[in-house]
Structure formats: C-alpha cells, structure tokens
Chains A and B, each alone.
Chain A
Amino acid sequence: MTEELHSELGELLSAYLDDEVTPQERARAEELLASDPEARALYEALRSAASAVRALPKDAAPPDLLDAVNVRLEREALLAGADPEATLQRHRRPPTRGALALAAMLAIAVGGGIYVSLQLGDASHSDMQFARRDTRSDEAFEGVENPSSRNQPTETLGPRGRAQPLADDAVATMQKSTGDEATGDRDRAMRPSSRGGGLATNGIAADSPSTWRAKEAEEAADDVAQVTVDMLARAGIAASDERDAFADAGSQHDSYEAESEGAASATRALRGPHEGKPKRGTRRSGEPAVDLLGVLPTQTDRYLLPYLPPRTFEQRLADGEDWSALEKHPLAVEPVQLRVRFASASEAHGFTDRIVSTFAQRGAVPVSVLAGDAQKDKAATARTSLVQRAAQDAVAPSASVVYLEGAPGVNFPNDPTTNSQVLARVPGDWLIDLIDESAASDPEAITLRIGNWTMQGAASARSMASRAIGPQTAELESEATESLVESRSPVGGFSLASPADSNGRESLVRESSLEPPTDLTEWLQWVQRVAEPDLARATPSDADGFVTTAGIVAIVDGPVEDLPGSRPRTAKHLITIVIDVRTDTSPAEQPEPVP
C-alpha cells in the first residue's frame, strides 16, 4: 500500500471510527474492513489509540481558578480605574459591539435602513434623564415645547464630535411622499459646528473640519467612554455631592429642567470641572475616581434602576393633554421609517454599534432572540408577530423597556438583502437621537417617513420627529389619520391597521394574568411559553406579513408602582424601533412609496 493510499484509507477509517462519513464513505469503509486485513489492522490501531485517549480522566479545573480569573479581572479594572477610558476600551465597549450579535453581523452592510414604528408619541417630555440633555436634547425639546422656537436655527449633533446644523427652515421641507420628495438643505450639510456630541457624547468641544478626521478614532473611543461615564453617573457611581445632585434629579419629577440639570451636573462632576472630554490617560484634578469595582459585581441590577422616567403619561394628562386623543393619535400606530445610508460598511457598523450601545446603556437591554433563521427554518418566518405583540402588550409588569432582537432574514422574509435587525422598544424621544446619530453618515441621505409624510435630510427629519413626538401633532394628525387604516408598516409583520386584533394578543393577555416573573430567567421562560401557541400555529403559508422576534426587557427591582415616576403599564409612550442593516451596495435609494 502506498503512503498516499494509506493516508487516504486511514483518514477514511478514522472518520468512519468517528461516524463522520457520508453514506458512500461508510459503504466503502465497511467494504474495506470486510475484505482487507491491512485496513482492519489500521482501523484497530486507530480505534485503540482513540480509546486510550478517551480513557484519560477529564480533569476538573483547579478550585481556585474561578477566583483567580475574577481577581485578575478586578485587578485589570483597578488598573484601568486610573484611566476609565482605558477600561472602556478594554471592557466597557461590550455593549457597543457585543449587543450587535445580531445586527452587527452586518459587517458587510453598506446601506442601512432604520425602521421606527412609533407606537405613541409621548416623548415630547423627558422620559429619561440624560446628562447630554443639557445640550442637544434640550434644544429639541425646547423646539417642541415652544413652537416659536422651532424655526430658530439649531444644531443637531452627530457622533464623534461631528456636528451638522439643523436647518432653520426644516419644517418647510416636509412634503407628502406621494408628491415630490423633499430634498433637504444640502448646502448646509456637514458644516462644522462649534459643538460635538451625539448619542454617546455631550458637550464636547468640536474639532475643526481639518482636524476631526484625524481624531476620529480617539473620539470614537471617547464616545464609548462617555457612555459609561454617563451610565456610571446614572448608577450613582459618583462622588457624594454629585450623587446627591443626581439623587435630586431623580426625585424631582415635577421639573424636567431640574432633572436634566441634576443629571448633567453629576456627569460634569465625573468629567471634571472643565467641560469637554478628558484626554485618555489623564485625569483632571477634581475629577473623582470611578469606582469600577463597585459597579462590576452589581452591574446588572444597578444599571437598570436609573431608568426611572420622570415624566409619565399621567403627567402629560395632568398637563392637560387628552389621553384618548393620544391613544387615537395616528402616530400611536403609524409606522415611522428612518432610512440612512452609509459610505462604507465600517460606518454602517459603527452606526448600529453606537445605537445598540447607547440603548443598552440606557437600560434597553438586549435579552433574547427567539427568532429562527429564515433560511433554515421556513416556519420561522411564519410565526405570529411577537414583535407586534411585544411592542403592543408585552411590557412585563416589572419591565420598563423592551429590547427586541431579530435574526437575519426573519423579520423581512421577503427581503433577501436584509441581514439583521435590532428592535427596541424605547422612549419616543430616542428617535431624535437616532436621527442625530444618523446624520453623522450622510445627512442628506436620511429619509424619515411617518405615514404619508416624508422628510428628506437630517434637518427636516429632526424637525418632523420633534413635532411627531411632541404635542404639536394636530396638523400632522389631521392629514395622516385618513391614511392610517390602510397603512402598513414597512416592517414585515406590523399589521398596523388593526393592532388590537393581532393573533398573539389574546394569549398574551391571558398569560399576563399569571404571576409576574420576577427575574430575567423567569421572564424569558414566560415569553417562550407565550410564544408556543404561535409556533404551533405557524405554517409556511403564513409567511407574509409576520415577524418572528421576541425579546425583553429591563427588570427593575420591585413593583413598578413603587418606583417614582413609573410609567403606565401599557407603556404606550414607548416607540418600537427596528434597525435594519442591509448588504445593499446600490447607489442611493429613493424612498419607497408608502402603500
């Protein structure tokens, strides 16, 4: 037997021993073994060797290994504590990319679309308090609260220190999508601003156009750093006086401005006395050390708790807003689509990275993926829309935010270009943040659609979003209501014409009467139980128009009712956000017509 033949037969017999052969290979191996003594001897030698190795004991790790790992992790955290940004670089970035396990496989994505289904526009006031509100978001809210300010020049802040101006005549660009497309204010695109920021940054001094690119990498890291600094601030990881300030912010729910300022002061204290971002590797005098060790062991609980919305639906009602009108508002169910384009896959990746990161940092915790792979599991595309149900109903009694994740090709079963999605049920005002973040790529390519209305360009989109989530919606409502009945979301599965009749609603409501889950595992099992009937019903013929995703949830300790500023259980002032990233490399897309 030649060596080559010996190797070929040996590999075959070895694979046969491991049951790693095709039927044809199996037949050949068995024939060989039956007829060739040399093959039998070789097989026996291989089997003997494998048996000897398999007989070796499986050792347990040293009992102190787990402790040793923890000690080394803590030591790294300690070392990094002198340089929080370094810590973030190494450990705190997870929420950014990691949470992208779904959407971020979109590494190849070049074109991106974001679909935002606005469940109800209750976000004109602060649902949350973020330090960054002391800049950009305040402007946005001012624009909502004070109609006269809407036409004042404002700025929308992009990530990484880039900034784009918000057109002062943004409102004027709103047009019906059935008519000519708005073009936005291209002339002002990408003009440098005196301020930077974005989802993850705040109050950061802007770089000049000639320098910001060179600092992009550093600023991206700073963005991440700032997210965590803000998170830590919200978690109360701050010096005592700042913690008090933060506590004040958390307890004074009668004044959005006071809350915003309180949270901002806490974050400023973490940053140090100077506005602007600290340089990596340095700590300013007066900047308190961040107790990373203190947050590590209790991260799960603590980073969720700060999400205590200071403004609630009830408060809006107390302010004279009509609940029933809000319930009937077309924006409660009308799909909002925000489409963004990116110049490169890395930009698209970075975008979703930041979005998911920020959502996670704000308490929209990615938890579960129940969806199947549409390519492998046809039934997966046929399951009843858990997204729809979750978005409408499935805010657990103890949950404040639902974060939904989709699997590639599932939620858009008819769209082969779709790679993955992220769905999140988050406060409505995050739509503004999404637009701001989107503007970092190509502000002119942003298209925001609410119902039949389409806005082209970041400035126009921002203006429209500010109005849509705010109280100044009557003019939109008057024209959009009529189209509501026939509207369907661009997101497959959102049958928006009759949300109350969704297949899952009954079962979900029934299940909701069960004892509320008290922890994440329980909640996950609970949702899976709810999903069972749908899974059983699913047939391939149902594929069109259904979504297969469910997820959950930020768990807060204790009943929601006990939490100050808790939101109504219906949580209808949340929006459902679907981030979709595609492999579309075609030239700039024209907005699709709204059905």
Chain B
Amino acid sequence: LADALLVRRVQTGDAHAYTELVRKYQDRVFTACLRICGRHEDAADLTQDAFLKAFAAIHEFRGASAFYTWIFRIAVNLSVSHQRKQRNRHTVSLDGDGGENDSGAWREPAAADGDPSAGLAAAETRAQVAAALAALDAEHRAAVVLRDIEGCDYQEIADILELPIGTVKSRIFRGRLALRRLLEQPDPLTANRP
C-alpha cells in the first residue's frame, strides 16, 4: 500500500499499518543511523527510537512530505544528536571495539571462492571508509550519508535536514572533501579528525 494510505490507517487507529511502515523502512533507516552514529547497537536503538517517536507523533504528520522523508528526518536528527553527545563524552569508537565491525550484520567474511586476502583487504577498506565517515563532522556526515548511501536527491536531503539546498550542496562537498583527505591518510582509523 502507498505510504499515505498506511499513514492514514495508522492515524485512524490501525496499528498493523504502522508495522507495515516499519517493515518497509527499517533497513534504510537503520543503515542511515549506522552510518551516522557508527555503532551497530546504537543504530538499532536509534532506529527503534525513530519509529517510536514517529508513531507517537503520527497525528502531527500531515502528509506535506513523504513519510520516508519524515522518518528519515527524525532518525537523522536523533542520530546526529546522539553523535554529538557521544563526541562530547569522547566515547566515539574508531578502533572497532563495539563499533560496526563488531556487528554480524556489518562484517562480511572473506570471499569463499576467491583469494581470502582479497576479501580481507576489501573488508579492511570498507572499515577504513566507515571509520573515515565516522570521523566527519556530524552535519557533513549526515548529508553525505543521505546522498551517497541513501541516494536522496538534494531536495530530499534539504527536506530531511531542513536546510536550504545551498547548504546541502556545501555540506556534501565539504564532507566528501574531508572524507577524501582522511582516506589519504596512512591510517584513517587513527588519523586526526578534521
């Protein structure tokens, strides 16, 4: 069913319809949360929180934007806020301890039918990219994640982040540039953050 219909059904008391919405978007929301917060467990919690928050406020959802834009806005805001708090506590993990590489969903095994070292190298590269991404400023990271992972266009990102498109454009550029510089470091996992 269309999102608008599902939302309308939720608004009229149909909790099942909300389950459908959760099922439909949980993977995307989780991925976005994970890429922003960098920790599998936190991402799962943030995803839950986002859907619960959306449910609690569903009566305020008036359909001016798509549901996925709305849920992404909630999730991204939660994730960015969470990340700021984490950063303030200096507990951001870039060394894999409790991070995404600890997650079964995040880690990929070496290729079974290929060179085991190639699979390992690919996994290491991904870990480096993920670590560099996690080292970005939260606002830049959110913009990059929405663009390059979620595939949102600039207008959607502007809607989700509630920013002018010009700012979105700037954040994506600066995020990519910072990411590139981090990846050029000998070891981005230990590189200084921008």
Complex contacts, A73 vs chain B, CB 8 Å:
15, 18, 52, 55
Given A72-B48, A100-B62, A18–B154 Cβ distance below 8 Å?
Answer: yes
Complex contacts, B13 vs chain A, CB 8 Å:
92, 94-95, 231, 295, 299-300, 303, 360
Comparing B27-35, B77-85, B87-95, B110-118, the segment that makes contact with chain A is: B27-35
Tell me whether A58 and B177 are in contact (CB under 8 A).
no
Asked if A558 is at the interface (CB within 8 A of a chain B CB), the reply is: no
Tell me whether B173 and A10 are in contact (CB under 8 A).
yes
Tell me whether B8 and A53 are in contact (CB under 8 A).
no
Complex contacts, A231 vs chain B, CB 8 Å:
13
Given A14-B172, A15-B169, A65–B47 Cβ distance below 8 Å?
Answer: yes
Complex contacts, B133 vs chain A, CB 8 Å:
53, 56
Complex contacts, A360 vs chain B, CB 8 Å:
11-13
Interface size on B, residues (CB 8 A): 67
Tell me whether A50 and B176 are in contact (CB under 8 A).
yes
Question: Roughly how many angstroms separate A54 CA and B35 CA in the complex, as a whole number?
Answer: 11
Tell me whether A94 and B48 are in contact (CB under 8 A).
no
Tell me whether B27 and A94 are in contact (CB under 8 A).
no
Comparing A101-109, A138-146, A184-192, A209-217, the segment that makes contact with chain B is: A101-109
Tell me whether B62 and A104 are in contact (CB under 8 A).
yes
Given A52-B179, A98-B8, A300–B1 Cβ distance below 8 Å?
Answer: no
Asked if A512 is at the interface (CB within 8 A of a chain B CB), the reply is: no
Question: Roughly how many angstroms separate A315 CA and B105 CA in the complex, as a whole number?
Answer: 63
- Please encode chain B, from 132 to 144, with 1 for each CB lying within 8 Å of some chain A CB and 0 for all others: 0100000000001
Asked if A324 is at the interface (CB within 8 A of a chain B CB), the reply is: no
Complex contacts, B19 vs chain A, CB 8 Å:
66, 70
Complex contacts, B129 vs chain A, CB 8 Å:
52-53, 55-56
Of B4, B14, B26, B60, the contact of A300 (CB 8 Å cutoff): B14
Tell me whether B154 and A99 are in contact (CB under 8 A).
no
Asked if A346 is at the interface (CB within 8 A of a chain B CB), the reply is: no
Q: Which of A54-73 contact B (CB under 8 A)?
A: 54-62, 65-66, 68-70, 72-73
Question: Roughly how many angstroms separate A520 CA and B1 CA in the complex, as a whole number?
Answer: 9
Given A18-B172, A52-B179, A300-B14, A69–B52 Cβ distance below 8 Å?
Answer: yes
Comparing A160-168, A279-287, A363-371, A533-541, the segment that makes contact with chain B is: A363-371
Complex contacts, B26 vs chain A, CB 8 Å:
61, 65-66, 69
B75 CB to closest chain A CB (Å) equals: 11
Given A57-B106, A65-B26, A66-B22, A94–B177 Cβ distance below 8 Å?
Answer: no
B146 CB to closest chain A CB (Å) equals: 11
Asked if A7 is at the interface (CB within 8 A of a chain B CB), the reply is: yes
Tell me whether A49 and B176 are in contact (CB under 8 A).
yes
Complex contacts, B52 vs chain A, CB 8 Å:
69, 72-73, 76
Tell me whether B10 and A94 are in contact (CB under 8 A).
yes
Interface centre among B8, B14, B144 (most CB of A within 10 A): B8
Tell me whether B106 and A98 are in contact (CB under 8 A).
no
Asked if A425 is at the interface (CB within 8 A of a chain B CB), the reply is: no
Which residue on chain B has the smallest CB distance to residue A45? B180
Question: Roughly how many angstroms separate A268 CA and B28 CA in the complex, as a whole number?
Answer: 46
Which residue on chain B has the smallest CB distance to residue A295? B13
Tell me whether B148 and A50 are in contact (CB under 8 A).
yes
Interface centre among B48, B59, B64, B176 (most CB of A within 10 A): B59
- Please encode chain B, from 143 to 164, with 1 for each CB lying within 8 Å of some chain A CB and 0 for all others: 0110111000110000000000
Question: Roughly how many angstroms separate A369 CA and B64 CA in the complex, as a whole number?
Answer: 14
Complex contacts, A274 vs chain B, CB 8 Å:
none
Given A10-B177, A73-B15, A94–B144 Cβ distance below 8 Å?
Answer: no
Tell me whether A61 and B59 are in contact (CB under 8 A).
no
Which residue on chain A has the smallest CB distance to residue B61? A98
Which residue on chain B has the smallest CB distance to residue A98? B11
Tell me whether B51 and A105 are in contact (CB under 8 A).
no
Which residue on chain B has the smallest CB distance to residue A231? B13
Question: Roughly how many angstroms separate A185 CA and B143 CA in the complex, as a whole number?
Answer: 60
Asked if A296 is at the interface (CB within 8 A of a chain B CB), the reply is: yes
Nearest 8 pairs between A and B by C-beta?
A98-B11, A101-B63, A94-B11, A61-B30, A14-B173, A53-B148, A49-B180, A61-B26
Chain B residues with a Cβ under 8 A of chain A:
1, 4-5, 7-19, 22-23, 26-31, 34-35, 40, 44, 47-48, 51-52, 55-56, 58-64, 103, 105-106, 108, 125-126, 129-130, 133, 144-145, 147-149, 153-154, 169-170, 172-174, 176-177, 179-180, 183
Given contacts A46-B180, A105-B63, 6 further A-B contacts (CB under 8 A): A15-B172, A45-B180, A62-B40, A68-B44, A96-B59, A299-B16
Could you write out 23 A-B pairs with CB less than 8 Å apart?
A11-B173, A14-B176, A20-B154, A45-B176, A45-B180, A48-B183, A53-B145, A56-B129, A58-B28, A60-B105, A66-B19, A93-B59, A94-B10, A94-B13, A98-B10, A98-B58, A99-B8, A100-B62, A101-B64, A104-B62, A297-B15, A300-B17, A520-B1
